[in-house]
Amino acid sequence: MLNHKLCVGVITVPHGVRGQVRVKSFTVEPRDITRYAPLVDADGEREYRLEFVGHTKGVLLARVDGVCDRNAAETLRGTELFIYRDTLPEPEDEDEFYNADLVGLAAVRPDGSAYGTVKALHNFGAGDMIEFKLAGGGDVILPFTRAVVPEIDLEKGRLVVDPPDMFGDSESAVSVRGEDEGAA
C-alpha cells in the first residue's frame, strides 16, 4: 500500500577526481540521507549506497559505492535519490503522518460532498500549504492548518477540508460590483 518512492536528495555534480559527488539532501538533517540504504533511482532499477565524507557550500560530499573516478561520478549528475516509503518507521502519534501519505487522498467538505484530491504539499517559507485538484476542475492551494484540514483519516483514504471563504459570498460580490458600476 505504501510502497511508493520518496525523493530524499539529488546528486548535483562530481567533486574531485576520486569519484566523490556533491549531494543536495532533502532530509531534515542533511547527513541522514546516508543512513538510508539502499537509495534507488527514479525507476527503482539502480541502487546507491552513500558514505558521508564532508560538507561544502550547503551540500554533502559523499562517496558512492562502485564509483571510483570523476568520469563515473559525472554520469550520476542530476540523479534523484529515492527511498521506498515502507522503509520508514510508522509515526508514533496518531496526529503525525508523512506528507507523502496525504498525496492522492480524497478531500471532502465537512458535509461529505466531494472537494477533490490532494495534489501536493508545499512550504514556500511562510508555513505549510496543501494543494488540491478540485473535483470541478482546476487546482487550489490552501493553508495547511487544523482549521482548514480538521480531519485526516489515512485508513479511509480521505481528509476533510473546510476551505476559507476567501472571496465572500458570490451574491454580495455581484451586488458590490453592481453598485460600483452604477456609481461610475
Position 48 confidence tier, pLDDT thresholds 50, 70, 90: very high
Q: Which of 23-27, 42-46, 116-120, 178-182 has the lowest mean pLDDT?
A: 178-182
Q: What is the mean pLDDT of residues 110-139?
A: 93
Whole-angstrom distance, CA of residue 129 vs CA of residue 119: 11
pLDDT at 123: 85
User: How many Cβ atoms from other residues are within 10 Å of residue 82's Cβ?
Assistant: 21
Q: Is the pLDDT score of 170 beyond 50?
A: no
Q: Which helix (H) or strand (E) holds 71?
A: helix 70-74
Please name the amino acid found at residue 137. Answer: G
Residue 178 contacts by C-beta under 8 Å, 6 or more apart in sequence?
Answer: none
pTM: 0.68
- The answer to whether the CB of 121 falls within 8 A of the CB of 99 is yes
Q: What is the mean pLDDT of residues 49-63?
A: 93
